[in-house]
Amino acid sequence: MSTYQSVIKIAAVTGALFLSGGIASHGLATVPALLKSISEDGTSSHAMVQVWRRVYQQGHANSPKIVVLTTVAFAYTAWGANSQQTSTRIPMLLYSAAASLVVGIVPYTLIFMEDSNRKLLKRAAEAKHYSSYSASGEKRPEDLIDQESNEGLLRRWRALTLTRALLPMTAGFLGLLAITHYE
């Protein structure tokens, strides 16, 4: 195996695990911190959905590049494993599965997360022009309903995000398995 091929394999595995960690951090750290800010610090849920929007936009700007590069690296590695004269096709199958899992976050997002994303983005846009306090400084009853709804959406998004992180993580492990056991 050439150094060039080794670098691509390492890049593919690293990219998948990096992507998984980035996605998982939103569910393991960001959303719980946002929810604690609401419950313990009294921060409005309207402010929290605006912060969530910033987090979402960062991920939306950066993750597709990592997905493309990682998928291409795994696909190239699968092609290289297939063209080698070996007695087993297992490495090619593992790298192909890894490529499919990484790019699989796109349909997963569109199918399972689009509704939550759309609702949270709409609430964040509405929250820009919103004051959650009445003239007397008391929270209005409808704000408590909004808070519960916003918190529910954030919890749902968290669960979907953690599940989504499993796709590139599994891809990284499949790549490691192919490298360590079959080459």
Between CA 164 and CA 109 the distance in angstroms is 8
Q: Which residue has the higher pLDDT, 140 or 113?
A: 113
Which of 23, 18, 144, 29 lies closest to 70 in space, CA to CA? 18
pTM, full prediction: 0.87
Q: Where are the domains of the chain?
A: 3-182
Residues in the chain: 183
Using only the alpha carbons of the chain, give its radius of gyration.
21
Confidence at residue 145, expressed as pLDDT on a 0 to 100 scale: 52
Confidence at residue 122, expressed as pLDDT on a 0 to 100 scale: 92
| Residues 140 and 134: beta-carbon distance below 8 Å | yes
**Residue reference for tokens 């998004």:** 157
Which helix (H) or strand (E) segment holds residue 110: the answer is none
Determine the residue type at 144.
L
Percent of the chain scoring above 70 in pLDDT: 90
pLDDT in tens, 51-66: 999 999 999 999 999 9
Confidence at residue 27, expressed as pLDDT on a 0 to 100 scale: 96
Confidence at residue 131, expressed as pLDDT on a 0 to 100 scale: 53
Percent of the chain scoring above 90 in pLDDT: 72
Between CA 38 and CA 96 the distance in angstroms is 43
The two most distant CA atoms of the chain are separated, in Å, by 78
